[in-house]
Amino acid sequence: MTVLDHSETKTPVVNFDTEPSRYKHWKLKFDGPVATLILEVDPQGGLVPGYELKMNSYDLGVDIELYDAVQRLRFEHPEVKSVVLTGGLERMFCAGANIRMLAASPHAWKVNFCKFTNETRNGIEDATANSGQTYIAAVNGTAAGGGYELAVACDQIVLIDDGSSAVSLPEVPLLGVLPGTGGLTRVVDKRMVRKDRADIFATRSEGVRGQTAVDWGLIDETVKATVFQEAVATRAAAAAKTSSRPDSGTGVVLTPLNRTETDTEISYTTLNAAINRDERRADITINVTNDAPPADAAAAIEQGAGYWPLTLARELDDLILRLRTNEAEIGTWVFRVLGEHGNALAYDEQLREQGENWFINEVNHYLKRTFKRLDVTSRSIFAVIEPGSAFDGFLFEIALAGDRQYMLEGVYEDVDADATPASVTVTESNYGAFPMGNDLTRLQSRFYGHEDLQAAVRAEKGLALASQDADRLGLVTMALDDIDFEDELRIVLEERAALSPDSLTGMEANHRFVGPETMETKIFGRLTAWQNWIFIRPNASGPEGALGRFGSGERANYDMKRV
């Protein structure tokens, strides 16, 4: 992963491409069913100049490598059933996010950094829950701030008992901010720490260690240094025995993406994004393959990274990250899915019926995580459904993730009067395979509180729904004939581009996540919102704020009024 200089715009472009031989900060080791991820940060290996990554502190570049490693463990190593995550420095697990990096970064960078890091931590939890790869944090030294958040994303935490190593969330007392990657939420929701103890923990800069950390629920076990490795190995072996992953098998290598990029276009094998800077819009077209699905899961594994749904998941994931990070002014994303309904539905059926296979299972969960990444992206998302569209089954999730859906009624008479009018198909895949962060399906979120409307859609599951039926069932925002369609869409997109990006971000996030809260929605909606607000307050980021004065010997000068 690198920061490149864009040839025409001269703006920094973050590249999310990496693989183990290029890692600067992580090492991967394998011992049968157990893998070990070792964090040994290169102090001079920051993603951008201006800070040192001391004491195993991290920046976006460190997390890009971690995200890549988690993905590769799931796809390339079916034999791995537990993962030990530990530090490679003496008496130091991880000191958390690098303070100098945070202090020097513009607000938007902080926001994207926290969001990507949250998603990576969620991916670790998803691997434990759905891939049979249990993550165990072997905390071999101090775990502070984001370092403890990294540990608490794991299923189990073992802390070395050496008389000094502790776990802590010191952001409130030392930095005037919050733990930005779910620490507060996971302490009470996941570790179920009593709220008064959590309050002490989050305001005690030195943290908690030893038996107290066990008694409070902050860790699972504390072990003397002489038997630390043995205790961790015992836990990893026990976790591996409970895994559903195969004892052996051929992994699928995540080969480099086939991507080309100019100032106005990002193209892959399955999709293309045309960037209209004047209108601050990206038109994203996904192309369904013309090839039929492979015969079965074994044949899909033989296709490897070329298996079309996996290719799509990887390329859409990469596009979302690149647009989110590098194209902040491109505020509206318009999605089209083009191709044959039959091919889209054939792949949809294979993903459902072969889902017990470890590889197909991984593809399904990768698609789920990618759709979730779309849900939490602060961009306006529209779907356009026209003749030639294939918003069917799992691909219909992309339309449902949108803030609005516009469907052409009939055909474009002046273009191709003989075309087949557009239709959409709801399948069983839309009923639980790809839940949102609120644990509801996108159909449940769309029709929240209206069980009758949900039942009406389910009654027509599997049918090709023409525009009038999709409109009647409430599956699209508007169905218009070709006389009005293009003008209406143009006006809507122009209006959207004229609105405040800040207010749109808040509005969209409120509308997308209806219903119950989960730990995931709290992390993104509650904690991240407060963290982002605190980041722009002078107590944290002002000239006399805690981030700027950290390490200088000067105390922050706080405005003591509550807001």
Residue 329 · residue 375 · CB < 8 Å: no
For residue 9, the model assigns a pLDDT of 35
Cβ neighbours of 315 (radius 10 Å): 22
For residue 12, the model assigns a pLDDT of 61
For residue 7, the model assigns a pLDDT of 36
For residue 170, the model assigns a pLDDT of 95
Burial level of 431, CB count in 10 A (0-12/13-18/19+)? middle
What's the CA gap between 546 and 535, in Å, rounded? 10
What's the CA gap between 489 and 494, in Å, rounded? 9
- Helix, strand, or coil (residue 500): coil
Task: Compute the residue count for the chain.
Answer: 563
For residue 184, the model assigns a pLDDT of 94
What's the CA gap between 272 and 70, in Å, rounded? 26
Residue 429 DSSP class: G
Residue 225 · residue 57 · CB < 8 Å: no
Q: Report which of 154, 124, 138 is spatially closest to residue 86, judged by C-alpha positions.
A: 138
Q: Nearest 5°: phi and psi at 430?
A: -85, 5
Residue type present at position 261: E
| CA triple 433-524-557, angle to 5 deg | 170
Residue 208 DSSP class: B
Over its length of 563 residues, how does the chain's per-residue pLDDT go in tens digits?
545 333 333 346 899 999 999 999 999 999 999 999 999 999 999 999 999 999 999 999 999 999 999 999 999 999 999 999 999 999 999 999 999 998 889 988 988 999 999 999 999 999 999 999 999 999 999 999 999 999 999 999 999 999 999 999 999 999 999 998 899 999 999 999 999 999 999 999 999 999 999 999 999 999 999 999 999 999 999 999 999 999 988 999 999 999 999 999 999 999 999 999 999 999 999 999 999 999 999 999 999 999 999 999 999 999 999 999 999 999 999 999 999 999 999 999 999 999 999 999 999 999 999 999 999 999 999 999 999 999 999 999 999 999 999 999 999 988 888 889 999 999 999 999 999 999 999 999 999 999 999 999 999 999 999 999 999 999 999 999 999 999 999 999 999 999 999 999 999 999 999 999 999 999 988 877 888 889 889 999 899 999 888 888 899 999 998 87
For residue 84, the model assigns a pLDDT of 98
Which residues, listed in sequence order, are joined to residue 28 by a DSSP beta bridge? 37
Domains of the chain, start order: 2-241 (3.90.226.10), 260-505 (3.90.226.10)
Q: Report which of 522, 541, 520 is spatially closest to residue 530, judged by C-alpha positions.
A: 522
Per-residue burial over 511-526, b if 16 or more Cβ lie within 10 Å, else e, is ebbeeeebbbbbbbbe
For residue 181, the model assigns a pLDDT of 86
Q: Nearest 5°: phi and psi at 293?
A: -65, 155
For residue 478, the model assigns a pLDDT of 97
For residue 528, the model assigns a pLDDT of 78
Q: What six digits make up the tokens of 116?
A: 């990507």
Radius of gyration in angstroms for the set of CA atoms belonging to the chain, rounded to a whole number: 24
